[in-house]
Structure 1
Amino acid sequence: MAALTIEFFHDVVCCWCYNISSRLRTLAHEFNLDVRHRTFVLQASRAEMEARWGQPDAARAAILGHWEACRRVSDRPEGINIEAMRRASFDYPHGLVAAKACKAAERIGGQAAHWDMFDRLQHAHLTKALNVEDSATARLAACEMGLDQAEFARLLDDPQTYRAVESDRQLARAFQVRVVPTLIVRQTGARLVNGPLEDLRAQLRAAIRLVA
């Protein structure tokens, strides 16, 4: 039986989620955590991107400023390729297609497949500077994972997959989640404070003592 269930709200295009995901993988093994992956798309369309960030050039500049801050405290700074994204020919992507890809993978292979898809798409986005708004990027990740290509393509466009994304959004509202990454201990409702691995480890030890 898992020691704790952690609700992990994330967005593929969130650089801070990249830092947390690798740390949480380490801690999930160490503490026998049940990590439940929840998509939380910050902007789901071009219109929402413009409303939040302004014109595409301004959006890219502002978001890459977040990348720079994130890379300074990352355990894997080599995976955050700011210059490649600065040179990319496409506008900075929204996260809806990537979220649907994660939920499609989940429908095929459960939470483990969701996490693997999330990490692969973050690598495509942050390291390779591929366009995760393009479904071809998601299909490539699915191929690399060994998922059935026809089934993945069908599920990616299935309205039920979009409804699964919306269901995660509704759960986020219930938890009053407004930013990503957000980590919530299901047993206590406590939120883990995003930080270095050792800080997260200490918070988990405290949470386990509370529920023991």
Structure 2
Amino acid sequence: MTDPGRIAPGLPCVTLGARVERVNCAGLRAAFVAAALWPALSAGPLLAEVAPPVIGADRYKPALAQTPDGCQVWMIDDGWEGYAWNRTDRRGKPVCMKVESCLVENTDQLFATDSARVRPAEAARLKAFFRQQGVFSYGIHGHTDARASDDYNMRLSQRRADAVARVALDAGARVASARGFGERMPVATNTTAAGMQKNRRVEITCYREIGRY
């Protein structure tokens, strides 16, 4: 196991992997990391991250990721074991972000019926949105009405969330999560056409950094 002190001297960290153990942990509970952070860190290309330079001559590259509640962590993963520790400001406080709903789009406008391909004109408009300044990353959540089966709606909403996430990545934005919720989180009744139209939506959450170092 790589010595975490050699990777990042003086920084508190936790070990991630098949088991979780404390290594001078401070501020980031190992149980929270195991239950909530590890699935996000292993999610692949939709992980919100940057690529700082290699530390010394080592092959490990720290990446900046975030917890579900919007706090930032540095992490290193060699494919078998990983390490994560809080990103802190100069006062030693965790760097957390303001989390807010910043856009709700009706899927009738973004997609054709039963499609998960964003219309070209809408993709261009979304790219302009994702290029805004002051946002660290985005959460993208797809929703449907209740007309089809739950399984169908879950799959369609996930495909649509992934499609919008690809637009964001093409625009150079970071994507923290892309999830489909199907019909399970309605904002209106599904017994009227107007209500169902409101439920067919993609919601985008913005994670904004509060202040700078």
Q: Same fold (TM over 0.5)?
A: no
Q: Give the TM-score, by structure 2 length.
A: 0.22
Q: Which has the higher helix share?
A: 1
TM-score for both structures, normalised by structure 1: 0.22
